[in-house]
């Protein structure tokens, strides 16, 4: 039986929060592992352009930002483990993390930075036509819809930002929103309202996504008249919020009613030695800058926790 690799701190998730925790832990002289099942950067790596992260007045692509964050964490010694945390056991003064590959690692403290995954609408056709016109990632799939008509569902920052991105590729973009005003930031709204390719279908709920082998239309219902109509689109991009990736710690730490991890002001969870940072944590604002701030606090607090063990 090979020895279980042992770290001071194991960081679960390699998005901006996880990479920053890796940077701070490494720079603080800790042996740090960052466990990420996909590519570094998490959801951010699929964001075409970020223009509200300080230091980049011209904006930066999510992919580039993630690459830079990873390089900086690696420079200070963080080790990257390409795997998924499947289970965590609390031991005296340490944690045993079992990975999906069946490998294990041990750490004195954990930072859960596992982010969130897209919510689905739960309407007929959504599952069946996934990858055949239904998408949750405009940057990944937008190019397949060049010069075609598409719809974006949602009214938050993600929906509006990705509608603007899609307008650069597609003939038309219809934003379908269940209310008559957007939740997205004013600055994003202004850009979208000015874009001649983007139109808004207000007060509409999605009834179904229609099509045979490919999406052919989005069936929506007017909430006031209850009348249904089919928007003839070949792509439907869904941005109706996120669910936290907190399943791996659900029996170990306190979660709120939506599954977000509850922390104290030093970002420690209800389990001593387990910290949380970024979108998986209960908080008001979910931004990259906030995730990075969380991670700095969590990593420093984890280091203090380890020093007092």
Query: Listing from the earlier edge strand, what are the strands of the sheet with 215-222?
Result: 204-211, 215-222, 228-231
Residue 179 binds ligand NAP, judged by CB under 6 A = yes
Nearer to ligand NAP, 52 or 100 (CB): 52
Give the count of residues interacting with ligand NAP (CB under 6 A): 20
Q: How far is the CB of 236 from ligand NAP (least distance, A)?
A: 12
Q: How far is the CB of 5 from ligand NAP (least distance, A)?
A: 34
Q: Name residue 9's beta-bridge partners.
A: 32, 109
Identify whether the C-beta of residue 271 lies closer than 8 Å to the C-beta of residue 89: no
Identify whether the C-beta of residue 116 lies closer than 8 Å to the C-beta of residue 156: no
Stretch that binds ligand NAP, among 21-29, 106-114, 143-151, 235-243 (CB under 6 A): 235-243
User: Annotated active-site positions, please?
Assistant: 137, 140-141
Stretch that binds ligand NAP, among 65-73, 82-90, 270-278, 285-293 (CB under 6 A): 285-293
Q: How far is the CB of 21 from ligand NAP (least distance, A)?
A: 19
Residue 166 binds ligand NAP, judged by CB under 6 A = no
Nearer to ligand NAP, 65 or 306 (CB): 65
Identify whether the C-beta of residue 259 lies closer than 8 Å to the C-beta of residue 253: no
Identify whether the C-beta of residue 213 lies closer than 8 Å to the C-beta of residue 234: no
The residue within the footprint of ligand NAP, chosen from 70, 114, 135, 158 (CB under 6 A), is 158
Nearer to ligand NAP, 40 or 278 (CB): 278
Q: Which residue's C-beta sits nearest to ligand NAP? A: 156
Residue 127 binds ligand NAP, judged by CB under 6 A = no
Residue 259 binds ligand NAP, judged by CB under 6 A = no
Cα 248 versus chain centre, distance: 16
DSSP-derived 3-state class of residue 273:
coil
Residue 155 binds ligand NAP, judged by CB under 6 A = yes
Concatenate the DSSP letters of all residues of 61-106 into one string: -HHHHHHHHHHHHHHTTPEEEES-EEEEEEETTEEEEEETTS-EEE
Nearer to ligand NAP, 168 or 272 (CB): 168
Per-residue exposure over 207-242, b if at least 16 CB sit within 10 Å of its own CB, e if not:
bbbbbeeebbbbbbbeeeeeeeeebebbbbbbbbeb
Q: How far is the CB of 183 from ligand NAP (least distance, A)?
A: 4
Residue 303 binds ligand NAP, judged by CB under 6 A = no
Q: Among residue numbers 65 through 104, which ones bind ligand NAP (CB under 6 A)?
A: none
Residue 124 binds ligand NAP, judged by CB under 6 A = no
Enter the tokens of residue 291: 């995730």
Q: Name residue 125's beta-bridge partners.
A: none
Nearer to ligand NAP, 139 or 240 (CB): 240
Q: How many of the other CB atoms lie within 10 Å of CB of 299?
A: 29
Rg (CA), the chain: 21
Q: How far is the CB of 81 from ligand NAP (least distance, A)?
A: 26
Residue 240 binds ligand NAP, judged by CB under 6 A = yes
Look up residue 124 and give its DSSP letter. T
Cα–Cα distance between 143 and 120 in angstroms, integer? 22
The residue within the footprint of ligand NAP, chosen from 114, 135, 161, 303 (CB under 6 A), is 161
Q: Among residue numbers 32 through 71, which ones bind ligand NAP (CB under 6 A)?
A: 52
Can you give the binding site for ligand NAP, defined by CB under 6 A? 52, 121, 153-159, 161, 178-179, 183, 239-242, 285-287
């Amino acid at each position: 039986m090979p020895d279980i690799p042992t770290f001071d701190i194991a960081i679960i998730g390699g998005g901006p929060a996880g990479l920053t925790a890796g940077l701070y832990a490494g720079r603080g002289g800790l042996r740090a592992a960052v466990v990420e099942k996909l590519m570094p950067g998490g959801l951010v790596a699929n964001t075409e352009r970020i223009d509200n992260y300080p230091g980049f007045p011209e904006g930066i692509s999510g992919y580039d930002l993630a690459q830079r964050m990873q390089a900086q964490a690696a420079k200070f010694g963080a080790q990257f483990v390409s795997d998924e945390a499947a289970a965590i056991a609390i031991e005296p003064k340490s944690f045993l993390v079992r990975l999906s590959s069946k490998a294990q690692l041990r750490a004195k403290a954990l930072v859960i930075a596992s982010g969130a995954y897209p919510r689905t609408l739960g309407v007929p056709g959504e599952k069946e036509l996934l990858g055949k016109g239904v998408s949750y990632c405009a940057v990944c799939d937008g190019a397949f819809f060049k010069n075609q008509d598409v719809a974006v569902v949602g009214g938050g920052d993600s929906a509006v930002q990705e509608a603007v991105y899609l307008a650069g590729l597609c003939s038309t973009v219809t934003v379908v929103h269940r209310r008559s005003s957007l939740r997205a930031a004013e600055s994003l709204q202004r850009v979208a309202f000015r874009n001649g390719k983007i139109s808004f279908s207000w007060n509409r709920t999605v009834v179904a996504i229609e099509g045979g082998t490919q999406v052919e239309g989005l069936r929506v219902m007017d909430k006031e008249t209850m009348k249904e109509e089919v928007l003839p689109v070949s792509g439907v991009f869904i941005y109706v919020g996120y669910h936290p990736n907190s399943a791996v710690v659900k029996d170990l730490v306190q979660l709120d009613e939506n599954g977000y991890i509850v922390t104290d002001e030093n970002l420690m969870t209800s389990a001593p030695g387990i910290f949380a940072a970024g979108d998986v944590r209960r908080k008001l604002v979910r931004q990259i800058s906030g995730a990075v701030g969380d991670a700095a606090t969590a990593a420093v607090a984890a280091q203090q926790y380890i020093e007092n063990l």
